[in-house]
Structure 1
Amino acid sequence: MVKKGETIDITIDDIKFPNKGIAYIENNKKIIIKNSIPGQKLRVKIKKKKGDKVDAILLEILEKAPNEVDGPCPVFKECGGCSYQNLNYEDQLLLKEKFILDILKDFHLEDIYEGVEGSKKTFEYRNKMEFSFGDEYKDGPLTLGLHKRGSMYDIVNTSVCLLVDNDFRIILTSVLNFASHHNYTYYHKRSHEGFLRHLVVRKGIMTGDILINFVTSSQGQLHEDDLVNSILNLPLLGSIKGIIHTTNESMADIVQSDKSKLLYGQDFIYDKLFDLSFKITPYSFFQTNTIGAMQLYSTVKEFVGTIRHNTIYDLYCGTGTIAQVLSSNADKVIGIEIVEEAVVAARENAKLNKIDNCEFYSGDVLDLLDNIKESPDIIILDPPRDGIHPKAISKIINFQPKAYIYVSCKPTSLARDLPYFLQAGYTVTRLKSVDMFSQTPHVETVALLTIK
């Protein structure tokens, strides 16, 4: 029997979503090691035991898995931004297919599952990155990048990050040099003291528009002109449209605005999905993989079919991207979203695209469904990662449309919500995944549910 603190050698036998390797030991106990893949031989240290599960910390990779490759990013082993650069992309897709089928195994959907559609870009696909200021080790020099794997505090310099294009990397390097030159302190998460917090870069993949948000606390003075000039002189392929300084006093390690000041240009950019344009503000939701979003929305549109419908509901509609993509499929599309800023953006984008049959309402789905009179032919569900609130599901089901299309960014939430629809007489007739997040365990899954 293994003991807490003990060091042992194991082989990873299986893997569980999102990135938990499993090794089986005596009496079928499971040792769980994050960021490992089947076939690896590892030296681990037992961290804690609970029932038949044992958590362990990776100390050393003794032998690679048979299908393991060297991750192309120089900081892959240290950075927490990616999990699976050490697998060829074909193996990543097989792994994601396994995740989906394992999680949904109780529904017996293997025969209708259409697999995972791979991303057209497996690197340099992200249109937004939130970089954090900090140090790579305690009291080390200032750095800027992503969290070190398994750490809440240490930051890895990701000036070589391969999930974004070279403009992001150039901007990160320039901003870090600027901050180091001025001897700024970074904001310490434990003491809540310090100045620099985050650098958020957004880029229109189809337009080249770039928006930069420099996030600090109020515990310092920003050299605004130096920052703007250092960025505007960079040799970028895209075009800087705006630079913002945001003051954030929240103790939580999140990007939010207590006060924002526009230092240059405008506080928005544009990007395109198909022939539609979308205005993107600093805090508006827009899928982080633009090309992948078009693949995802093409799947949704395919599931909707070619027959024109009277009314489509787009619940949890965000900035109304799906609603506008489906505007040609119905006489009316009604979108509901709890974030008021997103609804304002949705209305503005519909006007920009000269779409007049989309209506957007701000509020909780649970409350607003009581006030909408039109009966939907199809309901699109694209909920947050945690899925649909159980109280909202009953109201959604009461509409009894011909079909639901559930767009899930977290398969465990889909598995939790599906029984409600099945009990109401619906059946899953199509199921397909779309990979928008290569090199990571995450995958979008689209389910078409029709009434029996």
Structure 2
Amino acid sequence: MKKKDIIELKIQDLEFPLKGVGYYENKKIFVKNAIPGQVVRILIKKVRKDHAEGKLLEVIERASTEVESFCEHFGNCGGCSYQTIPYEKQMKMKADLVKGLLDEAGIMGYEFLGIEPSPEVFAYRNKMEYSFGNEKKGGELNLGMHKKGKFRDVVTVDHCKIVDEDFNMILATMLNYFRGKDVPLYNNKTHEGYLRHFIVRKAKKTKEIVINLVTSTQITFDMTELVEIMKNLNLTGKLVGFIHTFNDNIADTVVNEHTKVLWGQDFFTEEILGLKFKISAFSFFQTNSLGAEKLYSMVLDFMGDADNKNVFDLYCGTGTIGQIVAKKAKTVMGIELIEEAVEAANKNAQMNGLKNCHFIAGDVLKKIDELTTKPDIIILDPPRVGVHPKALKKVLAYRAPEIIYVSCNPRSLAENLIDVQKAGYKVKTVKCMDMFPHTPHVEAVVQLIKK
């Protein structure tokens, strides 16, 4: 077996996040987006001494457990790769993968409480970030998601099932408008053009919607007509803001170099567990609002009686968790790197009448040295890369009696927990929350007790 060979393979196992595992010529072969039971045709991309990696070309034989896909974009769009797996089995696969990673890392003696399902399996997302592009070079303008396995190609997803119909209507309206205009698409190779991204955010409880068109500054385009079209759409929700973000950064990501409010406001309001949160255009917020309520309820359960306890909320974002736990804690102190998020957190706390929590901006690694209060409980909710080893060392040096770790990446969680165990903490309880049905992603909440 060598690079560029095309082989057929039976997928026998699964590794996180969604790598099918098969065996060929006594080598372990990893195939992204393949699931156990499938027979697949793959292109060998890498060959190493003890394993190889292949690109999925075709599913020759489906697994006996698979069902029909529910979305017309399946196989073309790169999202929702689990959708041919019945939902109950999806959850079991995710829970097994998380437990497998922790067990493999040597995490011992904990109680595993399984996985909680998402309150909604369809139309659960409150945010979508779409890209302008085309499926083939020089083809018709599209607006949607990157094509499966293709970094530069974009397919329109105007019948997506993990968002509600307002998203699809807004997307289709925006696309049809620009298909009728002579406006250049931004080219990620030459870095020339105008149209780049389009972001839609809609609150689950208040139904408020904010849309954000992201372009370069290379031409000047009058948005007046487009704003009026969007304002007059017959939506189930309520459009409260249309903003325009200018981004000349060469990376194919949304970078806020300057934002202009074309109409309305640049934020929407969401409600979580009885509290209100103003969420600005670029603030991080869990994309599954109802799932977030269940996730944060797990944190509250793990906290137990905390009326006389001081809580540190590290990597706090807009302070959602911190404010929710403030209702049953003595004090809450949050730290977050992004200043805009911290400003929003403090404003939201004031709006919710919470006087026992405060949020500061800065790197956790540095700011944690400035805190003088001794924490009784530390809540960690880091980004996907996990807690930096140096920051984790400082966190553990507080010797807080309890730590609650909220993770969106089980692999980095397992790596962090190795160091946590060595520092004298016992992993008491682990519970998963499915925030992202039909995808390989999963959240986990871990309760840690100082020995």
Q: Which category of TM-score, normalised to the shorter sequence, fits these structures?
A: over 0.9
Aligned to 1:24: 23
Matches within 5 A, 1:263-282: 263-282=262-281
* Length, aligned pairs only: 450
Aligned to 2:159: 160
Aligned to 1:65: 63
Residue type matched to 2:288 in 1?
A: N
Q: Flag as ranges the 4+ runs of structure 1 deviating above 3 A.
A: 108-111
Task: Pick which of 51-60 and 349-358 moved more.
Answer: 51-60
Aligned to 1:169: 168
* 2:370 partner SS: coil
Task: Pick which of 409-418 and 250-259 moved more.
Answer: 250-259
- Write the distance in 1 (CA, Å) between the matches of 2:123 and 2:165: 8
- Write the distance in 2 (CA, Å) between the matches of 1:18 and 1:180: 37
Residue 74 (structure 1) aligned with residue 47 (structure 2): no
Contact 1:268–1:279 under 8 Å retained in 2:
yes
Residue type matched to 1:296 in 2?
A: L
Aligned to 2:382: 383
1:218-266, Cα deviation, whole Å (9 max, x unpaired): 1223231111011112110001100011110000111122222111111
* Larger RCO (alpha carbons 8 Å, 6+ apart): 2
* 1:326 partner SS: helix
* 2:390 partner SS: helix
- Give the deviation of 1:423 after TM superposition: 1.3
* 1:440 partner SS: coil
Residue type matched to 1:420 in 2?
A: D
Matches within 5 A, 1:228-307: 228-307=227-306
* 1:438 partner SS: coil
- Give the deviation of 1:396 after TM superposition: 0.7
- Write the distance in 2 (CA, Å) between the matches of 1:442 and 1:402: 30
- Give the deviation of 1:109 after TM superposition: 4.7
Match of residue 94, structure 1, among 92, 95, 110:
92
1:90-134, Cα deviation, whole Å (9 max, x unpaired): 010011012102211133558611111110111111101100000
Contact 2:134–2:140 under 8 Å retained in 1:
yes
Aligned to 1:15: 14
* 1:370 partner SS: helix
- Write the distance in 2 (CA, Å) between the matches of 1:24 and 1:109: 30
- Give the deviation of 1:53 after TM superposition: 1.6
Aligned to 1:103: 101
* 1:116 partner SS: strand
Residue type matched to 1:235 in 2?
A: N
- Write the distance in 1 (CA, Å) between the matches of 2:431 and 2:108: 11
TM-score (norm: length of structure 2): 0.98
Match of residue 33, structure 1, among 31, 47, 58:
31
* 1:293 partner SS: helix
CA shift in 2, pair 1:108/1:421, >3 Å = closer
Residue type matched to 1:149 in 2?
A: K
Aligned to 1:56: 54
Q: Structure 2, unaligned stretches of length 5 or more?
A: none
- Write the distance in 2 (CA, Å) between the matches of 1:89 and 1:80: 19
Taking only the aligned residue pairs, the percentage that are identical comes to 47
Aligned to 2:188: 189
Aligned to 1:424: 423
- Write the distance in 1 (CA, Å) between the matches of 2:109 and 2:21: 23
* Aligned-residue CA RMSD (Å): 1.2
Contact 1:178–1:230 under 8 Å retained in 2:
no
1:327-359, Cα deviation, whole Å (9 max, x unpaired): 122111111111110000000000110110001
